[in-house]
Structure 1
Amino acid sequence: MTPRTTLHLNRDRSELAFLALAGIFISSMTMLNILGATRILDMSFTLAGLRIPLSVPIGVLPYPITFLCTDLISEVYGRRRATWVVIVGFIANLWLLLIIWLGGVLPGLNSPVEDVAGRLPLFFEIRAATLGGTVGSMIAYLIAQFCDVYLFHFWKDLTDGKHLWLRNNGSTLVSQFLDTFAVLTIAHFYAGILPMDANQPVWPQLWTYIFSGYVFKVVFALLDTLPFYWLTSWLTQWVNTIPESPEAPSFEQVV
């Protein structure tokens, strides 16, 4: 076997790490659109005797990791690669949307007819929630992810590559708010999938959802600062460190 060159070994490691980050990013985004607001988690708590409402759609759970992935890709691989991951993630979710839509229009053994309890068959309930929520989610996705990539490199250029914590948190906090506001307002006014009390004003309820979702994302954005530092350092070193054996398996052999 011909020993692989240093260039090839570095490239293999680099591409393997990139594919892992891109895979986590895309799978998290598709999971978000499938789960959506199928369940609202009650994370309310009491602070100094004051009840703080915190209602978070279950689809939000995997979302904070997407910004960590794009920030890592931006830092290690550059803005162009991060932008392409966002675009591919968008295309992957359009594919998800197409399959779910086709699943409802093609003939099947069960039809979208409500049972005695007024419930549709499981697929059609998921389909209705997914189709309705995905439109808002994808609009918010493009706004937030491109904003995150742009602001990350804006802060990086402004600080001459210093203050890693600033571009990590600064880009994420702004883009997370834009995403939360866009996806929840569209989910309510366009899709009507948020559980709302018809006897109460709309905007106070909507702001509760927006506040809850944003607080959840902000907490995780701040908590991922140290992991971001560590992962950036480890990943940069790993993709540029040659294994001791020149016969190390290639990327093609690993996968």
Structure 2
Amino acid sequence: MTTKEKKLADNIYLILAALFIASLVASNLIFQKFFYWEPFGIYRFEVSVGILPYPITFLITDILSEIYGKKKANQVVIAGIFASFFSIIIVLISDFAPAIENSPINDKIFHQVFGLSPLAVFASMLAYLFAQFIDIRIFHFWKNLTNGKHLWLRNNFSTFASQFLDTFIVVFLLCSFHILPWTLFKGLLISGFLFKVIVALLDTPLLYLAVYLFRKRFNLKAGEEILH
């Protein structure tokens, strides 16, 4: 790889890492709003809006795992952990800071929206740690087993397992912390997991497109990774 190509690969890696971290932090900050989605009247999904950017993180780690390798993917995961904990500190300081009389958002409203975020981020981080590292590990297990073939297989198998674990841990801890009532546990677990499965299936073509563009630009063979 030439110096120019290496610089381009590094810049793309930084952009993907930034998108990953932004998606992760955003999902932790907006989680308290819930919505429903009822496609064709078949099933009513009731999920947090925090779930919307979260699948992006798994797509990005799959791209990084496929193109940059396991080590680089894990580095982004660790960076996301630090970014999330740093966001907790910012939220806590902002919540404790007293609002002035003419503030558009008073203390009560701010606390109602962001006050539970630290607990939510803690719950999310525990799930995130297990889910992302398992996703990367399973992805590379199937990659080695299939000699770099059948990208769809490792993409979906790794995501299904990790997303179920992520959903279960998050909902369980949110109910344990009394942020959500236990009566919602089963419904949110099923809805959250099925929603993520559908998104994972839908993002498979995007993964194929991204991998195709990378391989074409950097002259990579199937299963070959960019070496650093």
Q: TM-score, normalised by structure 2?
A: 0.88
| Residue 46 (structure 2) pairs with residue 55 (structure 1) | yes
Separation in structure 2 between the aligned mates of residue 104 and residue 129 of structure 1, nearest angstrom: 10
Residue of structure 1 in register with 2:225 after alignment: none
Q: In 2, are the aligned partners of 1:53 and 1:208 still within 8 Å (CA)?
A: no
Residue of structure 2 in register with 1:228 after alignment: 207
Count residues in correspondence.
215
Separation in structure 2 between the aligned mates of residue 236 and residue 207 of structure 1, nearest angstrom: 42
Shift of 1:126: 2.4
Separation in structure 1 between the aligned mates of residue 173 and residue 83 of structure 2, nearest angstrom: 21
Query: After TM superposition, which residue ranges in structure 1, 4 or more long, deviate above 4 angstroms?
Result: none
Deviations 1:60-80 (A, max 9, x none): 011111111000000000000
| Residue 95 (structure 2) pairs with residue 104 (structure 1) | yes
Measured at CA, do residues 19 and 240 of structure 1 come closer, stay the same or move farther in structure 2, by a change above 3 Å? farther
Q: In 2, are the aligned partners of 1:31 and 1:59 still within 8 Å (CA)?
A: yes
Alignment of 1:133-212 (within 5 A): 133-190=120-177, 192-194=178-180, 196=181, 202=182, 205-212=184-191
Residue of structure 2 in register with 1:31 after alignment: 26
Separation in structure 2 between the aligned mates of residue 94 and residue 239 of structure 1, nearest angstrom: 35
Separation in structure 2 between the aligned mates of residue 15 and residue 122 of structure 1, nearest angstrom: 42
Q: In 2, are the aligned partners of 1:13 and 1:238 still within 8 Å (CA)?
A: no
| Residue 16 (structure 2) pairs with residue 21 (structure 1) | yes
> Which moved further from structure 2: 52-61 or 73-82?
52-61
Q: In 1, are the aligned partners of 2:46 and 2:191 still within 8 Å (CA)?
A: yes
Separation in structure 2 between the aligned mates of residue 233 and residue 95 of structure 1, nearest angstrom: 35
Separation in structure 2 between the aligned mates of residue 189 and residue 59 of structure 1, nearest angstrom: 19
Deviations 1:42-100 (A, max 9, x none): 124633xxxx3420101001111111100000000000000010000000001101111
Stretches of structure 2 lacking an aligned partner (at least 5 in a row): 221-228
Tell me which amino acid in the other structure corresponds to 2:55.
P
The residue matched to 2:140 in structure 1 has which SS? helix
Measured at CA, do residues 93 and 134 of structure 1 come closer, stay the same or move farther in structure 2, by a change above 3 Å? same
Separation in structure 2 between the aligned mates of residue 77 and residue 148 of structure 1, nearest angstrom: 15
Shift of 1:228: 0.8
Residue of structure 1 in register with 2:223 after alignment: none
Tell me which amino acid in the other structure corresponds to 2:81.
F
Shift of 1:239: 4.0
Q: TM-score, normalised by structure 1?
A: 0.79
Q: Which has the higher contact order (CA 8 A, sep 6+)?
A: 1
Shift of 1:8: 1.4
Q: In 2, are the aligned partners of 1:13 and 1:239 still within 8 Å (CA)?
A: no
Q: Percent identity?
A: 38
Q: In 1, are the aligned partners of 2:123 and 2:173 still within 8 Å (CA)?
A: yes
Shift of 1:193: 2.2
Residue of structure 1 in register with 2:3 after alignment: 8
Shift of 1:129: 2.5
Stretches of structure 1 lacking an aligned partner (at least 5 in a row): 1-5, 197-201, 242-255
Separation in structure 2 between the aligned mates of residue 93 and residue 240 of structure 1, nearest angstrom: 35
Residue of structure 2 in register with 1:68 after alignment: 59
The residue matched to 1:55 in structure 2 has which SS? strand
Deviations 1:200-219 (A, max 9, x none): xx35x311101101111100
Tell me which amino acid in the other structure corresponds to 1:98.
I
Separation in structure 2 between the aligned mates of residue 122 and residue 12 of structure 1, nearest angstrom: 46
Separation in structure 1 between the aligned mates of residue 171 and residue 213 of structure 2, nearest angstrom: 36
| Residue 181 (structure 2) pairs with residue 215 (structure 1) | no
Separation in structure 2 between the aligned mates of residue 125 and residue 238 of structure 1, nearest angstrom: 48
Deviations 1:148-183 (A, max 9, x none): 010000111111111111111110010000000000
